[in-house]
Each structure stands twice: as structure tokens, then as C-alpha cells.
């Protein structure tokens, strides 16, 4: 009699899922994903290809007369300043022909900072642009080269690169320290701050 009763009880007993821990875990996962959520930020990019014959030749490609090379230097007096407070000297085609100097200016605009070019003489970057356009017009085969010294702020290099694209150059290269020089002179490649 008692046996039959317990069997009946077992049938009557409902199978209950313990939902509380599952909900705990689920909420934790939910909170994790909500916290790590970072909306996709849209950016721009400038694509370039590094030379593939690296390591084969140690000769530095000479800049041709019809090509455009922009050299960016920082005067020694500005080496200890913050990068964006430095003066940048623009030179062309391996010469000492200066375009002039450019000083960057960080302007505050509604809490955001952006870079402007406060020019002295005011036409400096326009001169660079005119030079690039002229070279491109005179020979359609011409190449462009950026020769920026290590201490140049990145914003200037990108600005010049952008001007070269605007002048419709398709072959743009950067000059670095030639590898044979690094090997021979044991230059401190580990520390760009020390490369003048």
C-alpha cells in the first residue's frame, strides 16, 4: 500500500528546472558583451607598397632630375620641443633649396584638437603643391619621393603624401636610412629619437 503511494507521488512530482543559476550566467554574459561593445570606427587609409628588391641591392636609388623629392627637416633648436611645436623646413630634390618653413599650430575647437599649418612665409605649402604639380605636368612618368627626417611629426609626412596624391603621382616612395649605412656605421635603428 505504502509502496504504491510513493510511486503515485513520483508521477505527480513535477520535474522542475533550476533556472536561477542559468539566468545569473546569462545576465553576466549579456553584461560582458554590452561592456565590450565598441562601435566600428570608420577611418581612412593610404595604401603603399614597400620595395620588393630589398636586401638584394645596397645602392640607394638616385633621384632623377624630372622627379619630385620633398625633404623635411627639423632645425636643431627644435629637437627638444614637443613634435607638434617643431618647425619643419621643406627642401626639394636633394638640394638646399628651401621652400620656406612651416610651424604647426594646434587649435582647440569644441574640445577637439586638430592640426593647422601656420605658415611663415604663408605660401610655403602652396609652393610645395605648385612644385609637385609642375613636375607632374612636365613629365607624366615622374616619380615622387618623401625624404622625411626621423624627427618630423607624422602629420606633416601624411600631409605631403596627400599633396602628392592630389598632384596625381602614382609612384611615391619614402627614403629611409640605406641599409648598408646602418650595417656599416652601426646606426642606432632601435631608437629613432637618436637618428638626426
Q: Which residues bind other proteins (CB under 8 A)?
A: 19, 22-23, 26-27, 29-30, 33-34, 36-38, 40-50, 52-56, 72, 82-84, 113-115, 148-159, 161-162, 165-166, 174, 176-177, 179, 182-183, 186, 189-190, 192-193, 195
Q: By C-beta, is 10 or 23 nearer to other proteins?
A: 23
Q: Report the C-alpha gap between 20 and 30 in whole angstroms.
A: 15
**Smallest gap from residue 3 Cβ to other proteins (A):** 26
* 61 CB neighbour count, 10 Å cutoff: 14
Q: By C-beta, is 114 or 122 nearer to other proteins?
A: 114
**What distance lies between CA 103 and its chain's CA centroid?**
20
**Smallest gap from residue 81 Cβ to other proteins (A):** 11
**Smallest gap from residue 182 Cβ to other proteins (A):** 6
Contacts of 196 (CB under 8 A, 6+ apart): 79, 149, 150, 151
Q: Report the C-alpha gap between 91 and 125 in whole angstroms.
A: 11
Q: Report the C-alpha gap between 112 and 73 in whole angstroms.
A: 28
Q: By C-beta, is 4 or 190 nearer to other proteins?
A: 190
Q: Report the C-alpha gap between 149 and 160 in whole angstroms.
A: 13
Q: By C-beta, is 2 or 113 nearer to other proteins?
A: 113
Among the listed residues 149, 185, 145, the one whose alpha carbon sits nearest the alpha carbon of residue 76: 149
Q: Report the C-alpha gap between 102 and 72 in whole angstroms.
A: 10
Q: By C-beta, is 61 or 84 nearer to other proteins?
A: 84
**Smallest gap from residue 99 Cβ to other proteins (A):** 18
**Smallest gap from residue 136 Cβ to other proteins (A):** 14
**Smallest gap from residue 62 Cβ to other proteins (A):** 20
Q: By C-beta, is 81 or 137 nearer to other proteins?
A: 81
Between strands 87-92 and 68-73, the pairing is antiparallel
Amino acid at each position: 500500500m505504502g509502496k504504491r503511494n510513493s510511486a503515485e507521488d513520483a508521477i505527480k512530482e513535477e520535474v522542475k528546472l533550476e533556472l536561477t543559476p542559468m539566468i545569473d550566467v546569462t545576465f553576466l554574459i549579456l553584461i560582458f558583451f554590452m561592456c565590450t561593445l565598441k562601435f566600428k570606427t570608420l577611418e581612412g587609409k593610404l595604401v603603399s607598397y614597400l620595395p620588393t628588391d630589398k636586401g638584394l641591392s645596397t645602392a640607394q636609388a638616385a633621384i632623377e632630375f624630372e622627379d619630385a623629392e620633398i625633404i623635411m627637416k627639423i632645425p636643431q633648436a627644435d629637437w627638444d620641443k614637443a613634435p607638434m611645436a617643431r618647425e619643419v623646413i621643406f627642401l626639394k630634390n636633394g638640394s638646399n633649396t628651401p621652400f620656406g618653413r612651416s610651424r604647426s599650430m594646434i587649435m582647440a575647437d569644441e574640445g577637439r584638437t586638430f592640426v593647422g599649418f601656420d605658415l611663415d612665409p604663408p605660401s610655403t605649402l602652396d609652393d610645395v603643391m605648385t612644385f609637385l604639380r609642375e613636375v607632374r605636368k612636365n613629365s607624366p612618368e615622374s616619380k615622387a619621393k618623401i625624404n622625411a627626417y626621423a624627427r618630423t611629426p607624422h602629420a606633416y609626412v601624411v600631409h605631403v603624401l596627400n599633396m602628392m596624391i592630389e598632384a596625381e603621382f602614382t609612384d611615391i616612395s619614402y627614403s629611409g636610412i640605406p641599409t648598408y649605412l646602418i650595417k656599416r656605421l652601426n646606426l642606432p635603428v632601435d631608437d629613432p629619437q637618436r637618428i638626426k
